[in-house]
Amino acid sequence: MKRMLLTISYDGTAYHGWQVQPNGITVQQTLQDSLERLLGERIDVTGCSRTDAGVHARRFMCHINCADNFPETAFLKGLNSLLPNDISVIDCKQVAPDFHARYDAKGKKYIYSMYVGELNPFYSRYMLHLEKMPDIDLMNKFCQGILGTHDFAPFSCSKRTVEDTVRTITECIVKIKDNILTFEITGNGFLYNMVRILAGTALAVGQQRLNPKCYEEIFESRDRSKAGDTLPAFALILDEVYY
């Protein structure tokens, strides 16, 4: 047996997230179903992360174990022919037998996208619509304040299942091009809904509903209610996973 690392890209609109769920179709289940049709057996697929329902991924990583005679080149073409159009396997390579897509990941980068102006049907599927331009400088002051290692429990949903809520953020910035804003954040890991809440807090700062230094009180009080809204999932994408 050998271990293969797959890089996949998917539009999460039609899925209840990555991980197999009893009450909805997920990306993991769809990938496993297609692999079973291709290889003739049900194999486990281990992902690098859990993405929420509706969240997308540009480069999501997962590993599988397969036979030594696994045809890597033909495999990509064959698997993609069986997958729906909103999921694509873009790379496949052999890794060490003890490699783990989730536990060996050093960091992840997420991007939350917004646009300003009139409603645009070509944007609104993947970007949050804003009627007015927020203050980008204020948003970036907030972003700078959350860099480093902190307990991000107040910036996560109470449904989280992990006990350790300390994470390290190495990059956080809001960029603007024309009328499109991107909230880009990189860290060693993220809690349940953490990126969407941080993006929502940054937006509230940019709209002058919260102070740019609100993170100080939020970290100290550990009070979720003092942070911004949990923004909708459809505008969030897992952009990159680092090993």
Please give the Cα distance from 120 to 98 (Å, whole number).
Answer: 47
| DSSP assigned state of 235 | G
**Burial per residue of 78-110, b for 16 or more beta-carbon CB atoms within 10 angstroms, e otherwise:** bbeeebeeebebeebeeeeeeeebeebbebbbb
H or E, element range at 142: helix 136-145
The angle formed by the CA atoms of residues 63, 169 and 203, to the nearest 5 degrees, is: 110
Please give the Cα distance from 68 to 33 (Å, whole number).
Answer: 21
Please give the Cα distance from 186 to 242 (Å, whole number).
Answer: 10
Q: 46 and 95 in contact (C-beta within 8 Å)? A: no
Q: 7 and 90 in contact (C-beta within 8 Å)? A: yes
Report the chain's terminal Cα–Cα distance, integer Å.
Answer: 23
Of the candidates 33, 44, 52, 178, the residue annotated as catalytic is 52
Please give the Cα distance from 142 to 206 (Å, whole number).
Answer: 9
The answer to whether residue 52 is catalytic is yes
Instruction: Give the active site residues.
Output: 52
